[in-house]
Chain A
Amino acid sequence: MNEIPRLRYPRIVLGLMVAAGIAGAALADGGKSEQGVPLSPKYRQECAACHVPFPPGMLPAASWRHVMADLPRHYGTDASLDPASTKELSTWIAANAGTYKRVSEEPTQDRITHSVWFVRKHNEVAAGTWSLPAVKGPSNCAACHPQADQGNFNEHSVRIPR
């Protein structure tokens, strides 16, 4: 895996990826993929305390820049973080942004759940389902994707609460 990524990523990014235990396979095939990249331990620690770790591949880089620039006002909550951690996370996120195969436009409010692909993929979910107490809203991926925590959103493992 060493040869191909070395051509594509600046050394510091490569170092971060190796440190994070990322095998290049998920990205080495030309960028866009079905399966998300393995999450860095830092991302898991800082970005999965309040919700599932949203895959960096599921938003374009520009949207992630907005998110990371405004953590003290994060979707109605204070998610402020020290500058060094913010920088480390931003670098890792930027290196993995937009890799999910369906990502194209910048969704409104920088929400994955406002993406055109997200709305289309979920148009069979009944309106009432989103407001069930066990679901709480479209951002709660784990309510229907039991392995969301592992970055697995495969349609075959979906379970909708009733």
Chain B
Amino acid sequence: MNHPTVIRYLHAALVAGAVLSSVAQASTPAQLLADYSARAGSAPSPARGRALFTAPQGREWSCSTCHGAVPTQAGKHASTGKAIGALAPGFNAERFSDAAITEKWFRRNCNDVMGRECSAAEKADVLSWLLTLKP
């Protein structure tokens, strides 16, 4: 096997891996937190997560507007009024159980609240705070 072939194989394996990881996404909150922290390259801070979540970020809505200041019970969509199931995984087993779903909402909601996507560190901060909320 010559070099370019090896590289091609490696590339194919990497692409296959990326595709697999974006399809098979069953996950746990702890795995997601570990993944975000690893990408951030630093330890998450629940206190920073709480601050990001509850304080307005320069726009109309904060995370709390829809999810509640302590998201252990149902929230309410700020403009439509539709009920939103509790966000803290200790109170809603469906939360943070599928990386694609979690990523989709982080992308949308951070954009609505801060006008940009959240960094891996910010996601880790928020999730680490949510994990401190226990029934």
Residues of A within 8 A of B (CB): 49-52, 72, 76-82, 136, 139-140, 142-143
Contacts and interface: CB of A to CB of B under 8 A. Distances in A.
Interface residues of B, number: 11
A99 to B, nearest CB: 24
A50 B107 contact: no
Contact of B81 (A77, A82, A140): A140
Nearest to B77: A50
A65 B107 CA distance: 23
A77 B109 CA distance: 9
B80 A80 contact: no
Nearest to A76: B79
Top-8 shortest CB links A-B: A78-B108, A51-B80, A78-B111, A136-B81, A78-B112, A50-B77, A51-B82, A50-B80
Interface of B: 77, 79-82, 104, 107-109, 111-112
* Majority secondary structure of chain B interface residues (helix, strand, loop or mixed): helix
A77 B112 contact: yes
Contact of B107 (A76, A80, A140, A143): A80
A140 B81 CA distance: 8
A52 B82 contact: yes
Nearest to A72: B111
Nearest to B107: A80
Nearest to B82: A51
Contacts of A80: 104, 107-108, 111
Contacts of A77: 79, 108, 112
Quick one: which of A76, A77, A82 has the most chain B CB within 10 A? A77
A49 B83 CA distance: 9
28 contacts: A49-B82, A50-B77, A50-B80, A50-B82, A51-B77, A51-B82, A52-B82, A72-B111, A76-B79, A77-B79, A77-B108, A78-B107, A78-B108, A78-B109, A78-B112, A80-B104, A80-B107, A80-B108, A80-B111, A82-B104, A136-B79, A136-B80, A136-B81, A139-B80, A140-B80, A140-B81, A142-B82, A143-B81
Contacts of B109: 78
A47 to B, nearest CB: 12
